[in-house]
Structure 1
Amino acid sequence: MLRSSLHSAEIAAVALCAAVGLPEGAPDWVHLLPAGEIRTGDGRGPYRVPDAARLATASLGAGERLPIDENHATDLAAPRGEPAPARGWIVELQARADGVWGRVEWTEDGRHLVASRAYRGISPAIQHAADGTVTAILRASLVNRPNLRGLTTLHQETEMNPLLEKLLAALGLPATTAEDAALAAVTTLHAEKAKSLTALQAALDPIAVALGLQAGIDAGAVLTGAQALATGKGGKDSEQALTALQSELATVTKSLNSLQETTKREKAEAYVDGAIKAGRVGVKPLRDRYIAMHMADPAGTAELIAGLPVLGGGGEIVPPPAPAGEIALQAEQRQAARLLGIAEKDYLATLKAERQA
């Protein structure tokens, strides 16, 4: 197996960091590897993480910890007999939508280094196959010259861009949605708006013609013509024109309602099918029900589905990320608890006590 020490990517320029308030202290969770294909600034790779859940399980067994040092001292300084003290310990790994995250128990020195912003990035040391597939995360380092693209920097983990936060809320998307997914949602929204405007104009044209106006005029002009007809300024044929207009309006209303229903269904089907593709447990058997729920309440249904566990590539069920600072049992730990005849909550309490000892 080949071993390679990689550096995390610069997510924001200095000017951007100066413009966005940076949180105090050291983050409990750090972004170790992005999902999918990983690009680097120096041309190495690309590397791939085809299954983040499987990688997290393979990298950190029950009770194990991965060290965080400075500037890859374990790999570079220690072989020369120089010190390579740990500045923190990764005690938990989670597979999330944007890759693998690690929960860190910082040492006193490590917490001070991060809180004082002596370092701005986390650089993982990985084990990978010849084809670039990442097979394990070995450890990580505090660094200042990042190279890996797609990681969240130390001082971005707890401070979300206010504009992005408002945008996600307006779109009805979870706060954990990645920027590219938010951009895709905006693009889809624009496409749907254009489609709706085209359909609306197509519906207005027959009304305009019925009013004796030209096709292609805007809604304001159609309204003016209708008001003139209603006040009797349309001439002796106004009564017949009004009857024709009412008929056209009934047809248009039916068409618009059908269009809105179709648009809602297309969005719901896309979201639910995406959740099925992502391995969300229990969604596929209830696909039609989730689609109907999403059509009625998109935000509520998205929140419900996001809370469902994910079926990993190896068949293990990966629970949704636990809130910061909490411990979530991994698949092997839940299986061990069942074999031992111990309730999961009791096993979880034991793990918490061991980590606090």
Structure 2
Amino acid sequence: MSTRPAISPTTALCAALPLPALAADGAVPDWIHLLPAGEIRTVDGRGPYRVADPAALIALSLNGGARLPLDENHSTDLAAPRGEPAPARGWIVGLQSRDDGLWGQVEWTAHGRRLVGGKAYRHISPVILHAKDGTVTGVLRASLVNAPNLRGLAALHQAGASMDWTTKLRTLLGLPDTADEAAIWAALEAKMGAVATQSAQLAPIAKAVGLAETADGGAVLQAVQALQDPAKVVPAAAVTALQQQLSTLQTDRAKEKAELFVDTAIKAGRIAAPAQMRDHYIARHMADPTAVEKEIGAMPALHGRSGASVLPPPKPGETTPAAGLDPEEMKVISLMGIDPEAYRKTKAAQAEREGVL
């Protein structure tokens, strides 16, 4: 048997939260604090209530682009059932989860803006929809109030004057009028699960475009659209050209190193000098320098002195121990076991012969 609680949504009028202060220029706040973080208490002593999934709560409350009314002194709940006026003083058009709870974005009516700007009211009292287990399933509306405790509303609930929100839930969830409580609960669970999944999928996208993982869908969409700005996109052809230039530079550098090593080995008498042998070892060195240097280093050096000490390659910034030899030459002759002085003399003699020619 299923252990999930039977759905029995009712309304609750929460303890009021203070209105944000007016701006320095007297402008009324566009965002108001609706629900605190953590436990949510109601004025009639029931609860506590809690928000299990802020993203799901926001999606269900504003389903289909709903605009939630903001009235005075809960006139929608108290005056309207008696046929008395209950005009809206603003409309909640957006909801946002913050560290201190749930906030609502308000489009004020002209009269509502005058009331708040004139400091006629000090608090905001929200009306929530909740299940028996205390889970808040929706924000229905809010009111401008001055009495944080709103005494007298308890009698409204004790008298059982609560709305039947089953019909509204069926409509919001796209269910037929014949859907029972089990079907409504299953659809609600599926909807909340889908919203949670969407939030989880949105987090890595937000991170990839440089936003916090908690960024909402609107911010992520704006960041993704910015990436499509032609001025900020590098053409594929330019990227390909840069990659080709980098590959050419890497090949040229590898060839320079290979030629230096092979030519040094030829001068030392480790390998024969014919052009085909030189080209063979240069190609192999470009493909696998470690293996070729090890192989040629094991060959006898015809121009080196037996038992001569081989100096290690100079560290960066140090001068070369043998005059006329650069760091690259010192590194190569060290790997090949050639005496630096013998190599220097061979190099000088080679240069002299080439000069004569």
Q: What range describes the TM-score normalised by the shorter chain of this pair?
A: 0.3 to 0.5
The higher relative CO (CA closer than 8 Å, separation ≥ 6) is in: 1
Return the index of the structure with the highest Cα Rg: 2
